[in-house]
Amino acid sequence: EEDWDAVLDTNLKTVFFLCQTYAQKTLAANRTGKIVNIASMLSFQGGIRVPSYTASKSGIAGITRLLANEWGNKGVNINAIAPGTVETPLNNILFDNDDPFADALVRKGQPIGRNARPEEIADAVLWLASARSTFATGSTLVIDGGFTAQ
């Protein structure tokens, strides 16, 4: 239960209160703003072995939609990205050890057949944070190499 609470507090509760604080300050200053939350491909599917992570990231997608409804007409756009597996030191350990879960996830289960490079995720965040995405709000942009398209 402690682990469950810690993951939900970090991944969901903290994000909600950060969004709320940012929007309050932005709206009080009579400005427009952008928020980009980090969901996950597990926001759209159950996954395995990670119930608290899946629940928290599903919550991010829901909170993003909810807050877009509340703030969209006030000039605050809020979206999320849902990355798949990304080349990070933690993921590289998993993939370098021939873990069966990793093998099923990427090598056999993902049309692109590789992890995302960090800059591929950053490019999506940059677009959502830019003036080029002024009509996008309440969306969760999936960047997972086609995994959830299957």
Residues annotated as catalytic are: 53
> What is the residue-wise DSSP string for 37-69?
EE--GGGSS--SS-HHHHHHHHHHHHHHHHHHH
Residue with tokens 């939900």: 8
Residue 80: beta bridge partners? Answer: 37, 140
d(C-alpha 9, C-alpha 59), whole Å: 11
CA 19 to chain centre: 14
What is the four-CA torsion angle of 32, 12, 54, 108, rounded to 10 degrees?
50
| Rounded Cα–Cα distance for residues 125 and 30 (Å) | 24
d(C-alpha 43, C-alpha 142), whole Å:
10
